[in-house]
């Protein structure tokens, strides 16, 4: 008699070795994070999200056509105290340079010094590494840089640990299997729901004799959408992340 293995069960069986390495990586990240927090550094989450033109206009398009539509990348940061007061970026994807800009990250570090002092900048790396690091780190790496990256790449900017350290900050990257330890997705979801539900209120329409056109106040729409992610919502999101961090510290230790 032939026996067929459920694909989901098969996936679970074959990922055990990956789980072990991922747990070690997560534990290293959390220990470094807690050590830096204990030393008085503020935790800042830096993230980005893509906003397509179809999301802004509400026009329905085919999946294959969506690649030809403009897409903007929003770069912003926040903490349990709310959005970071800096000049966040909305960058058109087609105009992004082939080499991500370090100047934006330098400006961001300067803003953190002005408003918070020394900080832990927590990011989610956009580019997935081909091999998960399993090499046993040194004691110093465990305390400061659990992954010791030379550069952490996002879609829009380049985050350099040397630039962060030169400004008194530390740069950490959330391990890929544990992306939910980075609370920015809650804010992006809130922003996009606001865009969907309120884009008509930020729309100006002009009807001429031979043609008509529509203008959407994109900057105002984004600004108002970001305001909907209030201080209480940020506290709720970061507290949830904190509970997960405590759980993994107890479980993986």
- DSSP letter string over 59-76? ----TTTGGGS-EEEEEE
pLDDT band at 69 (very low <50, low <70, confident <90, very high): confident
Q: Convert the pLDDT of each residue in 187-218 to its tens digit.
A: 999 999 999 999 888 887 766 666 666 788 99
- DSSP letter string over 127-162? SPPSS---SPPPHHHHHS-SS--S-EE-SSBEE-HH
Give the homologous superfamily in CATH for domain 29-53+71-125+149-252: Ribonuclease H-like superfamily/Ribonuclease H (3.30.420.10)
Where are the chain's structural domains? Answer: 29-53+71-125+149-252
d(CA 139, CA 241): 26
State percent of the chain over pLDDT 90.
53
Q: Convert the pLDDT of each residue in 103-152 to its tens digit.
A: 899 999 999 999 999 999 999 876 544 434 444 445 444 444 454 456 78
**Sign of the dihedral through C-alpha 99, 100, 101, 102:** negative
pLDDT band at 43 (very low <50, low <70, confident <90, very high): very high
pLDDT band at 14 (very low <50, low <70, confident <90, very high): very low
Residue 100 has what pLDDT? Answer: 53
Residue 10 has what pLDDT? Answer: 45
Residue 196: both structure tokens together: 């969907």
Backbone angles phi, psi at 212, to 5 degrees: -140, 155
Q: How far is CA 129 from CA 31, 125, 133, 147, in A?
A: 22, 9, 9, 12
Residue 243: both structure tokens together: 């509970």
Most distant CA atoms of the chain, gap in Å: 76
Q: How far is CA 186 from CA 36, 84, 86, 135, in A?
A: 24, 16, 20, 33
Residue 2: both structure tokens together: 């032939």
Identify which has the larger pLDDT, 120 or 67: 120
198 touches 221 (CB < 8 A): yes
Identify which has the larger pLDDT, 132 or 71: 71
């Amino acid at each position: 008699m032939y026996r067929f293995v459920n694909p989901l069960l098969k996936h679970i069986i074959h990922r055990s070795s990956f789980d072990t390495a991922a747990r070690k990586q997560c534990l290293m990240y959390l220990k470094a994070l807690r050590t830096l927090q204990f030393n008085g550094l503020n935790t800042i989450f830096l993230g980005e999200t893509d906003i397509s033109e179809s999301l802004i206009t509400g026009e329905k398009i085919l999946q294959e056509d969506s690649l030809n539509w403009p897409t903007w990348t929003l770069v912003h940061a926040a903490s349990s105290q709310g959005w970071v007061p800096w000049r966040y970026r909305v960058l058109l994807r087609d105009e992004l340079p082939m080499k991500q800009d370090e100047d934006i990250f330098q400006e961001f570090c300067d803003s953190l010094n002005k408003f918070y002092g020394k900080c832990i900048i927590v990011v989610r790396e956009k580019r997935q590494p081909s091999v998960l690091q399993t090499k046993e780190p040194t004691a110093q790496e465990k305390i400061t840089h659990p992954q010791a990256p030379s550069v952490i790449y996002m879609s829009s900017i380049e985050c350099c640990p040397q630039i962060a350290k030169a400004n008194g900050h530390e740069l950490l990257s959330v391990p890929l299997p544990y992306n939910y330890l980075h609370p920015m997705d809650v804010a992006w979801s809130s922003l996009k729901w606001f865009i969907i539900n309120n884009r008509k209120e930020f729309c100006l329409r002009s009807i001429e004799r031979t043609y008509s056109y529509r203008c959407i106040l994109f900057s105002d729409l984004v600004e108002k959408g970001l305001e909907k992610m209030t201080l209480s919502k940020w506290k709720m999101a970061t507290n949830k992340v904190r509970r997960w961090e405590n759980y993994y510290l107890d479980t993986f230790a």
